[in-house]
Amino acid sequence: MSIPLLRALTIYFKLVDKAANHRTIVVPSELDFMPGPQDDLESMIWVLTYAIMLHHQETLQGSDKVDYKRDVVDRFYGSLSYAGLVKERLIMAYEGANLFVDDPEAWVPDATQYIWFRRAMTLVAGQFMPSSDGGIKPITFDAFDALCDEFITDE
């Protein structure tokens, strides 16, 4: 799920909780969220990142495998609330896009996958962090396609 969808779900279910205690609060029948193509592309990035992490986890043995599962996979993809997922995904996006942060190397140790992860997180972060011109950049199909063409092959 994209970060905007997770945020909308968080707001919606907070309202549902309030309505359970206050009968005067009316919960809309529909979620206040209109998905765009960038949301689907961002969701695909999260799915691919999860697959990369699971693949790495399966290459580990013993306590290394247990530690990686707990510290990385469960932290970012475990049983979290919608708000918890937003928080962890923002951390992944911001730290993944920041070349001065070392944590992502521990999350994605394979050199080629690490480069893909950094570029993917730059696309995700670009939707929320203003660029030097003050604008944001939704993920486009062309940007996603270029990212995948460079790293994902048919072999």
Closest-CA residue to 67 (of 118, 112, 106) = 106
Please classify residue 83 by burial: count the beta carbons closer than 10 Å to its beta carbon, then call 0-12 exposed, 13-18 middle and 19+ buried.
middle
Phi then psi for residue 28, to 5 deg, are: -60, 150
- Residue 46, pLDDT above cutoff 90: yes
pLDDT in tens, 53-78: 999 999 999 999 999 999 999 999 98
Query: What confidence tier does 123 reach under pLDDT thresholds 50, 70, 90?
Result: very high
- Residue 28, pLDDT above cutoff 80: no
Contacts of 150 (CB under 8 A, 6+ apart): 116
Query: What confidence tier does 31 reach under pLDDT thresholds 50, 70, 90?
Result: confident
DSSP state for residue 99 in the 8-state scheme: T
pLDDT at 34 (0 to 100): 80
Closest-CA residue to 3 (of 86, 121, 95) = 86
pLDDT in tens, 81-102: 888 899 999 999 999 999 888 8
Stretch 28-52: mean pLDDT: 86
